[in-house]
Amino acid sequence: MTDFSDKCIVLKISDHRDDDRLAKVLTAEHGLVTIRLRGVKKAKAKLKPFAQEFCVFDTRLTANRGVFLTPVEPLLIRDGFSLCGDLKVFTAASVAAEATVNALGDDQPHPHVFIELLKLISALEPNGDPYYQTSVYLLRLLELTGFYKRFEYFAEPQTPVQLLGYAQKTGYETRCDSDLSRRALKYISREFEKNFDVRSKSIDSVDLYG
């Protein structure tokens, strides 16, 4: 029997049977796991706030049988509605979520990635520059998973590569040129795809909300 308590960030939600949903979550101490949210499609389901991408919660997770874990009395720390209500922010967050799943892909602990993802969730907002923030996260994610590549720093970046050098040094700081951030995010996503030999689907939506 599996039984542990941990903090969780929801990365992906999918339907399961008539009334349930499955959530792929990153935990602070137990890596990527899949939890089953029972009855969450019902109108007054108590677990409905937890069936939302990018929500953060603390819970006990248990499994008597099967491959899915069940949350026991979860405590919501932060809902995901603010990130899902704006299409550009949601797209940027989705790129980060898909990259996280592709980069880790196991149940080993990744506490540094968990903390970095929390930083991104806190930084993302409709009035900011979500594509820039997500570019910072992907740079950090590559570094934390052993694929560090140094980009030259420019105080006034004019190209996507220069912006990545700026992001690498300054971190989660708002930028104003959204077109440059969009191109930088696409560039670092391509680098990510090469390193992990994956095809990122979420990046295809970036041009729709530039």
Q: pLDDT tens for the chain, 210 residues: list them.
A: 688 999 999 999 999 888 899 999 999 999 999 999 999 988 888 899 999 999 999 999 998 777 789 999 999 999 998 898 889 999 999 999 999 999 997 778 999 999 999 999 999 977 789 999 999 999 999 999 999 999 999 999 999 999 999 999 999 987 777 899 999 999 999 999 999 999 989 999 998 877
Q: What is the pLDDT of residues 127-174, one digit of tens each?
A: 789 999 999 999 999 999 999 999 999 999 999 999 999 999 999 987
φ, ψ dihedrals at 3, nearest 5° = -160, 115
Q: What share of the chain is helix, strand, coil (3-state, %, to 5)?
A: 45, 25, 35
pLDDT of residue 145: 95
Name the nearest CA neighbour of 68 among 39, 41, 36, 21.
36
Q: 3 Cβ partners below 8 Å, 6+ apart?
A: 60, 61, 62, 63
Element (H, E) at 209: none
Side-chain half-sphere CA neighbours of 172 within 13 A: 17
Answer whether 167's CB lies under 8 Å from 132's CB: yes
pLDDT of residue 103: 95
- pTM (two decimals): 0.94
Alpha helices in 39-153 (DSSP H): 81-84, 87-104, 111-123, 130-144
